[in-house]
Amino acid sequence: MRTLPLLFLIFLVSCQTKTQNKAVDDNFEKRNLSTEFKSYWYDGNAELNSYDLEFYRYGEKRKGKAMLIFVTEDFLSEAQVKANSKSETTRSVMKLNSTKKFNTGIYPYSIMQSAFFPLGEQRPLLKLTSSVQEWCGQSYAQLNHRGDFKLRTHSYFEGEADSTFILKPVLTENQIWIQLRIAPKELRLGKQDILPDFSFLQLNHEKFKTYSASIEQKENDYLTTTLRYNQLGRVLKIYQEKSFPFEITKWEEMEIKGKDTLISKANKLQTLKTEYWQKNSDKYLHLRDSLSL
């Protein structure tokens, strides 16, 4: 008989938790996705974009390749992983996997970041991971949006080994790339606090925290979004097409160090829409040629 009150209590707590979670979600404005958007992004394919990359590392310009891979998928909010199937506990997200690969002398660099951004409501991103690998070692950072931003960082550098900390949810540089593909003109402009690109913080050994930055947009041949951090000496310029699906054609990352300005660049090569996760047989190797890789 004692089990009945206990079960009833568990039921009440569960219901209260669901109600509280729903209330939290209701605090965010719903995002209305156009029919055009749904037709393009919910067709079961990912959009693969390849770029020629010129990236400054250790003061020298390196040549390499970059990828921006956009895809919509169902996301488990609690576990914060891709869901095997859609259900009442999943939410629709746009995921961006971005990669940069280049050589520094004898050894290679590989950078990959994954950002998960909610499509159903206008709120900060849900999850972000960033990894940097080279022959000296590797570093890894992860953000999970669970009420607050909960961050974990790991590195082989002295003083950066293992850290965990909490930040209030803010705009992140990594999510801006996704927002520009959804509705670029809805991006909030002006001066604001922003959490910078994770790989930039890792490569430059900067603290994982928010920094004051400004966002501007100009429209000429392209819609150009400029993100500027005076404290970090960082300027990011993203150039994209002015009409849907707002493809990103190129970008520039500037490092301002005293009188010197180093400008890393990426210029678009090819775009391919496909279910790439189903094309892991060697018979699909020719598709890399389609991306000029």
Distances from the Cα of 169 to the Cαs of 145, 172, 183, in angstroms? Answer: 8, 9, 21
Mean predicted lDDT score pLDDT of the chain: 91
Write out the DSSP string of the chain: -THHHHHHHHHHHHHHHHHHHHHHHHTSPBP---HHHHHHHTSS-EEEEEEEEEEEETTEEEEEEEEEEEEEEEEETTTTEE-SS--TTEEEEEEEEEEEEEEETTEEEEEEEEEEEESSB----SEEEEEEEETTEEEEEEEEEESEEEEEEEESSTT-SEEEEEE---EEHHHHHHHHHH-GGGSPPEEEEEE--HHHHHHHT--SS-EEEEEEEEESSSEEEEEEETTTTEEEEEEE-SSTT--EEEEEEEEEETTEEEEEEEEEEEEEEE-GGG--SGGGTHHHHHTT-
Q: What's the pLDDT at 257? A: 85
Tens of pLDDT, residues 155-177: 998 888 899 999 999 999 999 99
Domain boundaries, the chain: 35-269
**What percent of the chain shows pLDDT beyond 70?**
91
95: CB partners within 8 A, 6+ apart: 70, 71, 72, 73, 82, 114, 115, 116, 117
* Band of residue 145 on the pLDDT scale cut at 50, 70, 90: very high
Q: What's the pLDDT at 73? A: 95
Tens of pLDDT, residues 202-220: 999 999 999 999 999 999 9
Please identify which residue in the block is written with the tokens 């082989």. 156
Q: What's the pLDDT at 41? A: 98
Pair 194, 203: CB distance under 8 Å: no
What is d(CA 169, CA 28) in angstroms, rounded to the nearest whole number? 13
* Band of residue 293 on the pLDDT scale cut at 50, 70, 90: very high
Which of 240, 226, 137, 134 minimizes the C-alpha distance to 181? 240
